[in-house]
Amino acid sequence: MIAGGKRQKFFPVAKIFLYSMKSLGKRRKEAGKMIKGFPSTLMDDIQLNITNMIRHTVRNFPEREIVYRTPQGICRYTYLDAYRRMLRLANVLKRLGVEPGDRVGVLDWNTQRHYELYYAIPGTGAVLLQMNLRISPTDLVYVANHSKARVIFLDESLLSIAEAIAPQLETVKAYVIMSDKKLSEIPTRLSPKYSYEEMLAEESAEYDWPVIDEKSAYSACYTSGTTGKPKGVYYSHRGIYLHTIVRALYEGFTCYDNFMQIVPMFHAQGWGHFQSATLVGAKIVLSGRWTVEDIGALVDLMVAEKVTFSNGAPAIFIPMLNYIQGLEEKPDLRGTRFSCGATEPPLAMMKGWKELTGAEFFHGYGATETSPLVTVNILKPSLVDKLSEEEKWELKKKQGLILSGVDLKIVDSAGQELPHDGKSVGEVLIRGPWITGSYFNDPRTKESFVEGFWKSADAAAIDPDGYLKIADRYKDLIKSGGEWISSVDLENTIMAHPGVLEAVVVGLPHPKWEERPLALVVLKEAYKNKVTPEEILDFLKPKFARWQLPDKIKFVKEIPKTSVGKFNKKEIRTAYQDEFSRPGQR
């Protein structure tokens, strides 16, 4: 039986994964090849439904608080109170004629009603359509019509947005206004209109959650892509269930946490943190409606509610830190952790919080298409003694370790998987139970997937310890003489110069090197006419190889931006396309 003589082979880790991943991709195309083993005796037909999660949390922690910030002040109720309102809400949906499978739009801040809707709408088998109130009216109309939203729930403060798009909405049959006021006191052109609170009060808290096929959609979110129309991702109950549990496990959520939701709940389900916090029975703190002017109030709420966990982008954590720097008495936030998402979290921000408050950051990576969590930056035990303090800070800038359950590879332009050497940069491809496998009813699906993997359009390297580091958007990487230059690295370094307000770097066509970097820099008022391009270049030199430095640094008044405030690199590349390729440029 044993054919002797086969030689032992040892593979490095990378090889093992190269191998197994390649076949995974192949196999997805051959779905019929799935093996059916011996039948199990377990209750495998029980569906992973979002209602199970909320039901079981309320069973175990009915008394746990949900705190929410309103224009009138801080309010609080319990999981049981919220659950009773979810049951009534399910009956409201029934009365409004919402059927399983219907899409129901929500246009709201981080409110308690938004939270209730997140469980009640999918609980009935309908789909919560996340309506991003920051995108253009044109895109919002597209999202509502493309998804064929039947009902829209909206906060009274967002009436003007809803009224502006309402005439173009093709499928909406009802608007439910969320407010503490009576419906009769709210002037609006929306029709037919209903009051959330008045309807809730009329309905019974007795409702029998249906069992929903776990592969049915729970919620939908459309990308806010800078090019073209938004693309629709429809998350399944199964995907969200698994994402919620795994996120909770990796981020160490427990029932002792007091979790504050800062990330808007209208995008990528608020990163999925509040679902994980709910799963474990943590106290929930909802930040309500906030702008950068409310930073102080958010910090005060964080301190008052003894928040141990929160989420957000540097755009909110940096001004919060500024606010704290101005406080006479610094808050003690030791043990508090922040889940942060950005291409690269600023070191000054992470260190500032740590020094002033004791709070810790950990970085992650994800996208609308990925539910969103794909990586989390946790310090591996093997690195505790291996890295110096400064190296640990450097490590914290990376996106982190890939979650169990997710397959991720980086590939070159020919689709070949690249080694995990921390240097090879390629496009990030992802697959997993909470990763989208298509865009809903969208021809762009064809170009966005390859062999069962979603093409993220992000460029990254993976180091030998397994940490992912996003270098750039794949299309923004600068290809120079066969090597890659990260525009993001250059931008971040230029922006660390004290005289620089903002900076963008793009790759432009070059006759000899294929592409070379151009930097556009906006100086702060006080530094205008004082800083020279050479000075910026000198500032960069210690941190980059010579060939990575921009060929030209141009001072400009402003940098073109997209509707959501990102640098519009496409426009910049077009405007400067001949910069290096005109005769005599080099």
- Given the complex with a second copy, which of 217 and 373 has the nearer CB atom? 217
182 is an interface residue for a second copy by CB under 8 A: no
97 is a contact residue toward a second copy (CB under 8 A): yes
Min separation Cβ 268 and a second copy, Å: 13
Q: Which residue lies nearer to a second copy by CB, 28 or 479?
A: 28
Residues paired with 462 in a beta bridge? 468
Distance CA 383, CA 395 (A): 10
Q: How far is the CB of 256 from a second copy (least distance, A)?
A: 6
The residue whose two tokens read 């990330």 is: 263
Among 18, 25, 50, 58, binds a second copy (CB under 8 A): 58
SS3 191: coil
Q: Contact between 184 and a second copy (CB under 8 A)? A: no
- Core vs surface per residue 27-49: b (16+ CB within 10 A) or e: ebeeeeeeeeeeeeeeeeeebbb
* Residues noted as catalytic: 223, 369, 479, 484
Site for a second copy in 275-314 (CB under 8 A): 279-281, 283
Q: How far apart are CA 239 and CA 408, in angstroms?
A: 17
Stretch that binds a second copy, among 39-47, 155-163, 297-305, 523-531 (CB under 8 A): 39-47
Q: Does 480 bind a second copy (CB under 8 A)?
A: no
Task: Answer yes or no whether residue 446 interacts with a second copy by CB under 8 A.
Answer: no
Q: How far is the CB of 63 from a second copy (least distance, A)?
A: 5
How close are the terminal C-alpha atoms of the chain, in Å?
A: 70
| Interatomic CA distance for residues 332 and 586, integer angstroms | 56
Residues 438, 233: Cα–Cα separation, whole Å: 8
Binders of a second copy among residues 130 to 149 (CB under 8 A) are: none
d(C-alpha 155, C-alpha 567), whole Å: 30
Site for a second copy in 379-438 (CB under 8 A): 380-382, 401-406, 431-438
Residues 222-251 that bind a second copy (CB under 8 A): 232-239, 242, 245-246, 248-249
* Pair type for strands 337-341 and 360-366: parallel
Alpha carbon of residue 184 to chain centroid: 38
Is residue 568 near a second copy by the rule CB under 8 A? no
Block residue for tokens 């699906």: 445
Pair type for strands 400-402 and 149-155: unpaired
CB nearer to a second copy: pick between 95 and 181? 95
Using the minimum distance from each CB to a second copy, give the nearer residue, 453 or 484.
Answer: 453
Binding mask 321-360 for a second copy (x = CB under 8 A): ----------------------------------------
- Tell me whether residue 39 or residue 584 sits nearer to a second copy (CB atom): 39
Contact 425, 410 (CB under 8 A): yes
- Name the residue with tokens 């943190």: 273
Secondary structure element (H or E) that encloses residue 242, with its range: helix 237-250
| Residue 214 vs 491, nearer CB to a second copy | 214
Is 450 a binder of a second copy (CB under 8 A)? no
Write the DSSP string, 467-489: EEEEEEEGGG-EEETTEEE-HHH
